[in-house]
Chain A
Amino acid sequence: MANTVIGSSIVIDGEISGGEDLVIQGTVKGKISLKESLIVAQSGVVEADIATQNIEVAGQVTGNIAASDRVELKSDCRVVGDIKAPRILIADGASFKGNVDMEVGKGR
């Protein structure tokens, strides 16, 4: 289990930063910067700009995502915003609106 979990009834308005995995089941507004993986669970709602290494989205994200490694949009997720990462996966059933930048020629 990841160290940090934001439970489903929690609302955070502000900035989150850290060096460990983070699971969001609740609501976060503001800004997130992590050195590890971010998981937005199905019940999770994020309205924030995100900078992280890996991100897995099964819930809702509104905001720009910048990942140094990988972005995965799972089916049933809803993402609005720009994504910048060397590896981007979008599963069947995911809904996404925004720009994708894979920084071609870098990170492969």
Chain B
Amino acid sequence: MSTVIGDSILISGNLEGDEDLTIRGRVEGSIRLTRTLIVEASGIVKADVTVKDAVISGVVVGNVTASDSVQLTAEGRMVGDISAPRVIIVDGASFRGRVDMGDLESDRASAERPAQKAAARPVQKAPPPRPPARPPVRDGDERRIGQNVAVNQSAGAPARPPSPPAAPPLPPILAGAKRRVLVKKGKR
């Protein structure tokens, strides 16, 4: 049985664990999990979060660090910084903060991904060095990056919509940054 924090529950303090956690109520403080955190639409989290995967449909205020992925769904609202190798922001989500996907090549090569997936992936050349000290990404930019970069995707994640056929060329400032922010359009 996994852990559920119900609608009317408020936890303030530190929460740690090795299993999936679903939050429908409120948690303030810190959360550390080795598995998946799910913040449902009624859930409110004001905490620094360290998890493997996070799926956010409710409200999160705080920094989220994930060793695998962070997904903001259409109902998700978040203020804070995201640090994860895979970040998915769906159309309709609201987000303010920074996104850090780390050094992509070294993250991909590390043991976080299954070996056969890594082998199936075509070898990519190392990207040119990123321009230093880029200003923090704003909400609007986030979507733009997502649309442009979606064309470059290789077969990494299974549940990805087909790439849009005609995407405009990368603006010069983004040419070096192969970021994997996806924007899924037209969910409803």
A interface residues with partner B (beta carbon < 8 Å): 2-22, 25-26, 30
Contacts and interface: CB of A to CB of B under 8 A. Distances in A.
B156 interface: no
Given A11-B17, A26-B17, A3 B4 contact: yes
Given A12-B11, A14-B11, A15-B11, A3 B6 contact: yes
Q: Majority SS of interface residues in chain A? A: strand
A103 to B, nearest CB: 27
Interface of B: 1-19, 21, 24-25, 29
A30 B13 contact: yes
Contacts of B9: 3-4, 16-18, 20, 22
Contacts of B25: 4, 18
Contacts, number: 79
B7 A3 contact: yes
Contacts of A30: 13
A12 B13 contact: yes
B6 A9 contact: no
B1 A15 contact: no
A25 B13 CA distance: 18
8 contacts: A4-B25, A10-B17, A15-B10, A16-B11, A17-B10, A18-B8, A18-B9, A20-B9
Given A4-B25, A5-B1, A18-B25, A11 B15 contact: yes
Contacts of A15: 10-13
A11 B16 contact: yes
B157 to A, nearest CB: 27
A93 B8 CA distance: 34
Nearest to A11: B16
A20 B123 CA distance: 53
A4 B21 CA distance: 11
A16 B10 contact: yes
B6 A4 contact: yes
A18 B12 contact: no
Given A4-B6, A7-B17, A20-B6, 18 more contacts: A3-B4, A3-B6, A3-B9, A4-B5, A4-B9, A5-B2, A6-B3, A9-B19, A10-B15, A10-B17, A12-B13, A15-B10, A15-B11, A16-B10, A17-B10, A20-B9, A22-B6, A26-B17
Nearest to A3: B6
Contacts of B15: 10-14
B92 to A, nearest CB: 27
Given A13-B13, A14-B12, A16-B11, A7 B6 contact: no
Contacts of B5: 4, 6
